Structure 1
Amino acid sequence: MSTLVKTHFAGPSYLNGFFGKDLLNEFNTPAFSGSVPAVNVIESKEGFRIEVAAPGLQKSDFKLNLEKNQLTISAQKEQKEEDTNEKYTRKEFKYSSFQRTFTLPNSVDGDKIEASYSEGILSVALPKREEAKEKPARAIEVA
């Protein structure tokens, strides 16, 4: 099952509990240009995976925090540009950041969450607890 999550949720009701409390901060001031990256959420038998499209960042720009069942993904990047010649020095600073918080279902094993960043995509693996994984069908004999 593959689901693309947007900032409004018009999907199945079971996704509302997982993503219904999506919090995001976006600022638009002269020194800041912020935007919220696109997010994909994929569910498998083993767990969930959140993919965040965030090109141009480094691994060190990201912070992930898990508190209770709230996973917060944030990034901040500061860019400095300086041009100096005999008559003047020009400095420009640009800050960009985003933050998204997801309410995780109780089926996610918070101790085993892992994240990686490659080719502009932050991938967060959210494995399910063993007791929450779907078990194969089995026949039960009547004694």
Structure 2
Amino acid sequence: MYRNSWLPEVFNDFFYNNNMPRANATAPAINVLETATEYTVELAAPGLSKEDFVVNIDNDGDLTIKMEKKEETKDQAAHYLRREFSYSKYEQTLILPDDVDKEKIGARMSDGVLTVSLPKVQQNVQKIARQIEVG
């Protein structure tokens, strides 16, 4: 299994989870971005709409993305000679890092990209500097 050496070890299962095989060899590509406040998962889905997706957190706390596009053939006389960009069915489960706030996860579909926002848990940093009263 390929692993990026620049990724912290905790993210290896997040990015490379082989427990759920892809239903299609031409599965859509996924990008994962990280900022100080969140992770963002982007899934390429040209020609699809938000109704084609189901995104949820399962009982184990993992993120599951399911996509199914019902193909309607309008022209029965035509047939594909070559077809490489059909994502008729797809499912991927990602094991989330522990610092994801699972109550605030959101998803949106725009310009052929499904974007799932995974906000990080906000940790209150206690300030050390303070005035000490002399008694």
CA deviations on 1:102-127 (whole Å, 9 max, x unpaired) are: 00011101110000000011000000
Question: Does the residue aligned with 2:88 lie in a helix, a strand or coil?
Answer: strand
Q: Where do 5+ consecutive residues of structure 1 fail to align?
A: 1-6, 28-33, 84-88
Aligned residue for 1:73?
A: 65
Select which of 53, 56, 67 maps to 1:62: 53
Q: Is the 8 A contact 2:55 2:65 kept in 1?
A: yes
Count matched residues. Answer: 122
RMSD of aligned Cα (Å):
2.8
Normalised TM-score (structure 2): 0.74
Divergent runs of 4+, >3 A: 89-92, 137-143
Aligned residue for 1:48?
A: 39
Question: Does the residue aligned with 1:79 lie in a helix, a strand or coil?
Answer: coil
Q: Where do 5+ consecutive residues of structure 2 fail to align?
A: 80-85
Structure 1 pair 69/139, CA: closer, same or farther in 2 (3 Å)?
same
> Match of 1:56, as an amino acid?
G
Question: Is the strand fraction higher in 1 or 2?
Answer: 1
Aligned residue for 2:82?
A: none
Question: Does the residue aligned with 1:18 lie in a helix, a strand or coil?
Answer: helix
Percent sequence identity over matched residues? 33
Q: Is the 8 A contact 2:28 2:87 kept in 1?
A: no
Question: Does the residue aligned with 2:71 lie in a helix, a strand or coil?
Answer: strand
Select which of 83, 88, 94 maps to 1:96: 88
